[in-house]
Each structure stands twice: as C-alpha cells, then as structure tokens.
Amino acid sequence: MQINRDQLFRASCLSLLVTSLSFGIRAGILSDQGVRFHLSGSEIGTITATAFWGFPLAVIVGGFIVDIIGMKKLLVGAFIFHLIGIVLTIFANGYWTLFASTLLIGIANGTVEASCNPLVASLYTDNKTTKLNHFHLWFPAGIVIGTLVVFGLDKVLAGHADVKPYWVSQVEIAVMLLPTLTYGYLFSKLDFPVTERVASGVSTRDMYKALLNPLFIFMIICMFATAITELFTNQWIGVLFKTVTDNAILILTFVATMQVLGRAFASPIVHKFAPQGVLLISAILSALGIYLMITLHGEAIYFAAVIFGLGVAFFWPCMIGFVAENLPRTGAVGLNLMGGAGMLAVSLYMIFMGGYYDNLMAKNLPAGASLDAYRSAAPGTGLAKSFDAAMSASGPEVLKTTLVIPVGLIIAFGGLVLYMRSRNKEAVKAAAL
C-alpha cells in the first residue's frame, strides 16, 4: 500500500471546502428562504441549528469507529450524505424538507471532520497544528467562495424578469455539486494510513483514560465557547446586519477572508506563541471585533469584521492542534469529541438565540404584530420599514449577549497560558535530573 500524503491532503481540503460552502451559501440564502417559506426567526434558527446537530452526531460516532472501519469508508459515507443533502436542498418545498436536507449535510460535514482531523494529524505527526491550520483554512475559504457566489448570482440572475427568486437559490446550492463529486472520486481511489493512535500502539483503554484528563475536559468546555463565538456569529451575520448595509453578506466575506489569511500564515505565529498563546490573542481580538460590530455604523462595520475575522481565524485549528500535540493519547476520539462538543454547543445556542431574536423583534414592533406579515411585506411599505427598524434594534442586542462568551475566553486562555508555562518548566527540570 502506497500512501500519497500530498494527494490525500488536497482531497481532504476539497472535502472541507464542500463543508464550508454549505455554511457560506446557506448563510447567504437564509433570509430569502425565510421569506419564501414564511419561516419565523425561531424556525430559521432551528433549521440552521440542524446542521450543528448532525455534525456532532457524526463527528462523535465517527470518532469512535474511525479506528475500526478506517478513514476511507467514513469519507465515502460523507460523500453520499453530501450528495443527497445538496439535491434535497435544491428541491426543498418547505420547512421539513429544509430541515431534513440540513440534517443530512450536517451529518456529512461531521463525517468529514471525523475523518480528516485524525488523517491530517497522522500524515504530519511532526507539524500538526500548522498543518491543521492549513487544512482548516479551506473552511473560511469556502465561506468566501460561497458568499461571493451568492452575491454574484443574486446580482446577475435576480435582475432578469424571467428568473424566479427561488431559482437563484437553487442554482447557488447546485454549485456545491462539482467539488462534492470531485472529492468523492479522489477518496475512492486513494490508499489511507491508519490513525496515529493505532500506529503508535496506544491501547483503547489508555485512550479512554486520557479522555478523563482534567486538561482535556477544560479544553472541551473552552471549545463550547470558541465554536459559538465563531460559527454562530458567522452564520447569523446576513440576518443581523441586513439593515446595516445593502451587502450584509459581504461582512461574512471580510471575516472569512481574514480567517483564510491567518490560517495560511499560521506557521510562524504558532511556533512563536504556541497554540495556547495564539488562543489567548484570538479571544482578545474576537471580543474586540464583536464590540466594534455593535458600536460602529455604516461602512466602518467592515473594519470591525476584519478584527473579528483575525480573532476567530485560529480558534478551531488551534483548539484541535493543542489537543493533538499535548494530549495525543486521546487519539481520533479526542479530536472528534472536541469538534462534536463545539458544534453541539452552537446548535443549542442557535435555537436559544432564534427564540431570543423573535422576542426582541416582537418588542420592537407594535403590540400584537404578526412577525410573518411584517417579514413578508413588500419593500418600501410601512410594514417593511418598521420591520427593518426592528431588525436594526434587535441585531446589536443579540451580539451584546454573545460578547460575554469571548470575554470569558480571555480569562480561560490566560489561565491556560500560565498553566502550560508552569508545566513546561517542570518538564525541563525533570529532564535535567
């Protein structure tokens, strides 16, 4: 069996690109789908959260079976789920079909993570965090590509009288088919290594003991917060800033572009500050970015997006990389529990904030007003203007609530930096004896 490391890495990046396209394109059409199918903010939040339910389900189950069935079979399964979910989204006709298609895509996305995180760690055992950053840059890259596809097709197709609005959304979703078919073909042809834990001979019993390490449990808790800070804010940008700028989806593009650049040039940053130092810097910039998005107005919001993007750029890969480097005995299960925990937290937060957003909207509209009637009102009418005003007031309140999370992370990662510094000093002393 011949392992082609470079081809496996490229195919992994392509599968993650599909995962991120599902986030970027869905974020771009979320508001239009809400109008088309007369969905409330709570229903939109539930549909969005469904992808985050499927993800932890797949990534946790995948983490426990990847050592048994191998990474190749998992990735072929991801391809099948992606393909069915995308086709079902194209032909969606209401809440339940959107719910089902989003669930399938979430399962596919989680299966990609369950396979590719341990795959990258196994391929690059001497440079895990840097290569995980390079791998995970394709998530924000896909968001950039996806949002630009949505923005471009909206401009090109929506202006034609014979093109119905929902056709535009269907074309935008169909864009994901090409990279999906490509990565499915590549993975079906390539040979795979065993996971790093299996290769190093760590027993299953020792792996489970490592999962009870207090440091690992601490990182799981922090993963809840880093995932919410990054993914909730990104997924709801189109909704929260629709009335702030005519091109709200471009805010997400700015954020994702900063993430791509940060992860592409992660190597010197990670080597200088170590994963825990980078996480502390990320928490500070994320909190500052959300604060600026709340307080700035007009075109200045794009500056806030740049700061926020730099903040969340390193969260996911450095969280995974920290565990891969400092808790390697947790194996693929440890890496995938991290990802599953993050997505589970986001799904629950999505549902909570969807209802919270509806309540805020209700408070900012006349008493007894029908949210659906205001949401579906023709542009320029009094109802539409009132709805826009309510959105302008409600969006910052959602972000104010979310700001508490990265502020807490500053304290947590500050403590982690001090702990790791002390642990490393003790390790140096022990080695000298």
For residue 431, being part of any structural domain is answered with no
For residue 1, being part of any structural domain is answered with no
CATH number for the domain spanning 384: value is: 1.20.1250.20
Letter string b/e over residues 67-106, b meaning 16 or more CB atoms within 10 A of that residue's CB: beebbbebbebbbebbbbbbebbbebeebeebbbbbbbbb
Nearest to 357 by CA among 331, 396, 320, 384: 396
Give 330's pLDDT tier (boundaries 50, 70, 90). Answer: very high
For residue 433, being part of any structural domain is answered with no
How many separate domains does the chain show?
Answer: 1
For residue 178, being part of any structural domain is answered with yes
| Per-residue confidence (pLDDT) for residue 144, from 0 to 100 | 79
Measure the CA–CA gap between 398 and 42, rounded to whole angstroms. 14
For residue 301, being part of any structural domain is answered with yes
Give 29's pLDDT tier (boundaries 50, 70, 90). Answer: low
Higher per-residue confidence, 367 vs 129: 129
For residue 432, being part of any structural domain is answered with no
Give 389's pLDDT tier (boundaries 50, 70, 90). Answer: confident
| Per-residue confidence (pLDDT) for residue 250, from 0 to 100 | 74
Nearest to 235 by CA among 307, 143, 324, 133: 143
Least confident of 2-6, 111-115, 142-146, 239-243: 239-243
| Per-residue confidence (pLDDT) for residue 432, from 0 to 100 | 63
For residue 376, being part of any structural domain is answered with yes
Query: What's the chain's length in residues?
Result: 433
Domain span including residue 383: 7-426
| Per-residue confidence (pLDDT) for residue 197, from 0 to 100 | 83
| Per-residue confidence (pLDDT) for residue 30, from 0 to 100 | 64
For residue 317, being part of any structural domain is answered with yes
Tell me, yes or no, if the pTM score tops 0.85.
Answer: no
Residue 37 has pLDDT above 70, yes or no: yes
Residue 165 has pLDDT above 60, yes or no: no
Q: Tell me how crowded residue 65 is: count the other CB atoms within 10 A of its CB.
A: 14
Question: Which whole-number Å values give the CA distances from 405 to 140, 223, 280, in the listed order?
Answer: 21, 11, 13
